[in-house]
Amino acid sequence: MKFSLPEPSLDAPNRNLERLKTVPAFAARYADHHKTASLDDLAALPTLVKDELNVALAHLRPTAAHGATWLFQSGGSTGAPKVGYAPTGFYMAGVHAHWRPLDRDDVFVNGWGAGRMWGAHFLAGAFADLSGCEVISLGSVTRDEYGDWLAFMAAREVTAFGGTPSVLRLWFAHARAAGLRLPSLRKVLWLGEAWHPQLDDDMAAVAPDAERWGMFGSTETWVVGTNTPQCPPDVFHTLPEQLVGVGPDDLLDFTTLDPDVLNPVLRYQTGDAGTFTACPCGRPDPALRILGRRDSVVQVRGLGLHVDDIVARVEGEPGVARAQILITERRGRVAAVEVALLTESGAAPDLADRLRQELLSSTFTLSTAFLHDPESFRVRVVDALISNERTGKTANFVVREERDGR
Ligand SMILES: [Zn+2]
């Protein structure tokens, strides 16, 4: 068990321990744990997983000491939605103290979707407020509006743009295909998903001076770490208010040390895996390399299918803009696996057929699971992938239940 901080102040998690003890479902589990004064105490605590935090929050219903109590929701693409509470400000003062991508001269477009209980838009707004820049609170727009808004951004000499990588990819791919440029853009802020190398290519064409600035976190932990253009996109420097543990199988757990924290984030596992590393940016503090989600291995007829690997492989093919795996279950058993492709103009007409043959012959799980019904594994060109309408996220895989009787 390794932690991100050597000697953190552990008062806040102690409070969280007392709060969790008041939750009837967890009273017995925490009964023998009385203190969190040291990292050893903390390492002895059981971890909390996604659905359990929902159970705890339903019982605790936290209230902010000052200002409003905001309730948000995330997830729903690959699992049950998770709730998270935050006070006014969304803890962004602590982030702003250590991370300064924006300054007063910036013209910042907040492109995270607003409403439907998704928190990123409001969090980014609170951060921009601290930075004192000009804020254009755009939110999400539909595809047929991209051209007009991009022209507006160019005319306003927008210098900074922020959003979920899935959404950023749509914006920059559209701008590149339409020959639109954002010559004043210097900074692209991102949060909510992993960075994607396609964004580097499209940004180089659309906004050659733009660099990426990333935040890592979740609706339950809020922002845990940040990075700069000098850091690799999957490496984040953790904030001093956030204690990160790396456990067996590189599974991460999070403990929030901020005394004002509303969610009882005490050794909470989001499902993300990671490892401590020395960041090539030169900052001496240990940084966290995010290795992806441990739940990206999906059981298909008793065999593990590494969906992220398959999506990355397919997206590396010329002519493929994006890919997504759709898993259809019937009475709890995987009935079919489909790889949906968004293709670029000029993609070879036999692309889907060729990829299907290659994936079947090179992926043990697919060839074995579909040995007797290979037609249940399909590769298909689609007009749009399935996205979460609230968050703008496009998950690498979506599981659908097929109803009996059709
Ligand atoms: Zn770094």
Measured from the Cβ of residue 344, the count of other Cβ atoms closer than 10 Å reads: 12
Ligand 1 centre distance from Cα of residue 226 (Å): 9
Q: Which residues contact 208 (CB under 8 A, 6 or more apart)?
A: none
* 230 Cα: distance to centroid of ligand 1 (angstroms): 6
What are the pLDDT digits (tens) for 273-326? 999 999 999 998 889 999 988 777 888 888 889 898 899 899 989 999 899 999
The Å distance, Cα 180 to ligand 1 centre, comes to 31
Instruction: Name the nearest CA neighbour of 90 among 56, 128, 126.
Output: 126
In tens, the pLDDT along 369-380 reads 999 999 999 999
Beta-carbon count within 10 A of 372 CB: 6
Q: State residue 332's pLDDT score.
A: 80
Q: What is the pLDDT of residue 240?
A: 93
Check residue 292 and give its pLDDT. 83
State how far the Cα of 244 lies from the Cα of 25, in Å rounded to an integer: 25
* CA gap 268, 298 in Å, rounded: 22
Ligand 1 centroid to Cα of residue 264, in Å, is 28
Quick one: pLDDT at residue 76?
Answer: 61
Domains of the chain in sequence order: 69-293 (3.40.50.12780), 301-401 (3.30.300.30)
The CA 213 to ligand 1 mean position distance, Å, reads 11
Q: How far is the CA of 284 from the centre of ligand 1 (A)?
A: 9
Q: Which two tokens stand for residue 17?
A: 């321990």
Distance 3 CA to ligand 1 centre (A): 18
DSSP per-residue letters across 73-92: EE--SSS--EEEEEETTTTH
Maximum alpha-carbon separation in the chain:
65
DSSP 251: B
pLDDT at residue number 406? 44
Q: Shortest CA distance to 190 belongs to which of 227, 244, 220?
A: 227
Question: Contact, 320 vs 381, CB < 8 A?
Answer: no
User: How far is it, in rounded angstroms, from Cα 307 to Cα 339?
Assistant: 10
Q: Which residues of the chain have pLDDT under 50?
A: 405-406
Between CA 112 and CA 119 the distance in angstroms is 9
Output the pLDDT for position 359: 94
Ligand 1 centroid to Cα of residue 101, in Å, is 14
DSSP string, 192-244: SS---HHHHHHHHHH-TT-EEEEEEEETTTEEEEE--TTS-TTEEEEPTTEEE
Q: Which of 188, 194, 234 is nearest to 208 (CA)?
A: 188
**What per-residue confidence (pLDDT) applies to 404?**
57
* Ligand 1: centre distance to CA 231 (Å): 4
Contact yes or no for 73/117 (Cβ under 8 A): yes
Distant-in-sequence, close-in-space partners of 181: CB < 8 Å, separation ≥ 6: 154, 175, 206, 207
Give me ligand 1 centre to Cα 92, in Å: 20
Q: How far is the CA of 342 from the centre of ligand 1 (A)?
A: 33
For residue 237, how far is its CA from the centre of ligand 1 (angstroms)? Answer: 6
Please state the pTM of the whole predicted model. 0.85
Ligand 1: distance of its center to the CA of 391 in Å?
Answer: 27
